Structure 1
Amino acid sequence: MTTFPVNTIDTAPDRSKAPLKQLQASFGMIPNILGSMSTSPVLINSLVGLFQNVHGGSFSEAQIQTLLLTNAVTNECSWAVAFHTALGLQAGLDPADVQAIRERRLPKDEKLAALSALARSLIQKRGHLHDADIDAFINAGFDQELALEVIAVVAASTITNYTGSMTKTPLEETFRNHAWKP
């Protein structure tokens, strides 16, 4: 069995140190997934650009966490589900909506449900959406620009979800009370 390291700033490859420092400033820590990801400078540097655009985009943090949690569940990445459960609750998501997403159901909030449904459809249908998928999103009060912005969030979370699944990233003690299994 291949074991991937969980790097620190000191143990990461030189080209991964700057992005790790940047992400540490955002999170106040280096989540294990980023430590694993930093084994590849190409991968960690790719994430930083997407991360900045996603968190500097049009969605609120609660909406971003709705998307990221939905993606983690849909991609069945246990580490990311626990992490985004914690961040979603911290961002003010209703615990019932967080639990719904973790159980592969839609949140009761109409706009969050539309976000969650679109993200899930994008992943499950590999981007081949039906007009009804997009229409439901727009009918919930979003526009075409935001429909396309969801793709950026899905891309960022796909990087972390696939990394977590490939590396079997260990879950930090801080997130263990949000552990999840598919």
Structure 2
Amino acid sequence: MSRLPLIQPDTANRQAAELLAGVQQALGVTPNMTKAMANSPAVLKGYLGFSGALAAGVLPAHLRERLSLLVAQENGCDYCLSAHTYLGERRGKLDAGQIAAARRGEAEEPKSAAALAFAKAVLRSKGGVEDAELKTAREAGLSDEEIAEVVATVALQVFTNYFNKTADTDIDWPVVRHDH
């Protein structure tokens, strides 16, 4: 059972209800994570804004989903791992092998592999990457814009991982557990 209440659209305050209605309209569902975030409309609005901005960025959906899978696996967040396995299949068009590889920080395509390796370095160093890691990412073809978005995607996913682990958000996706 979630440790933060799951705010229902019909009982939410006006601002939270409007935000949740936007989620429902955009996704066709209102995930429990957004219902938990609706305890603070500021948190939900911030999440939706950051997520929306990155979705309009240069990183393709398949790479954003791969990065999300890596971060969820590294942080042991089963809610996010479940959500991004589902979304990775549908939004990112990833197959089971690509999803498993992303969780390990791997991809067959060299540029995606470089982005995942850089993301893992960002995550494990808490942003304190070495010059050589940045150079390797650039040499693999990542632009500075893409590098910035990889860092931002890692940061967004760390937020959602920490939020869902703290809230112990009830998983409303097909359940996937992290590897220990």
TM-score (norm 2): 0.90
Distance of 1:25 and 1:156 partners within structure 2 = 22
Corresponding position: 1:8 with 2:30: no
1:105: Cα distance to partner? 4.3
Root-mean-square deviation over aligned CA pairs: 1.9
1:35: Cα distance to partner? 0.9
**Between 8-17 and 58-67, the greater mean CA deviation after superposition:** 8-17
Distance of 2:74 and 2:177 partners within structure 1 = 15
Are the aligned partners of 1:78 and 1:181 in contact in 2 as well (CA < 8 Å)?
A: no
Q: Name the counterpart of 1:97.
A: 98
1:60: Cα distance to partner? 1.0
Corresponding position: 1:180 with 2:168: no
What code does the residue aligned with 2:160 have? T
Q: Deviations over 1:78-113 (max 9, x none)?
A: 1001110111111212321211233x3422222221
1:5: Cα distance to partner? 1.2
Q: Name the counterpart of 1:113.
A: 113
> SS in structure 1 opposite 2:174?
helix
1:15 to 1:100, Cα distance in 2 relative to 1, 3 A:
same
Are the aligned partners of 2:70 and 2:105 in contact in 1 as well (CA < 8 Å)?
A: no
Structure 1 runs not aligned, ≥5 long: none
Percent identical pairs in the alignment equals: 27
Are the aligned partners of 1:34 and 1:44 in contact in 2 as well (CA < 8 Å)?
A: yes
TM-score (norm 1): 0.89
Q: Name the counterpart of 1:28.
A: 28
Q: How many residues of Structure 1 are paired with residues of Structure 2 in the alignment?
A: 179
Q: Name the counterpart of 1:63.
A: 63
Distance of 2:25 and 2:133 partners within structure 1 = 37
1:181: Cα distance to partner? 5.2
What code does the residue aligned with 1:112 have? S
1:28-177 matches, within 5 Å, as: 28-90=28-90, 91-102=92-103, 104-172=104-172, 174-176=173-175
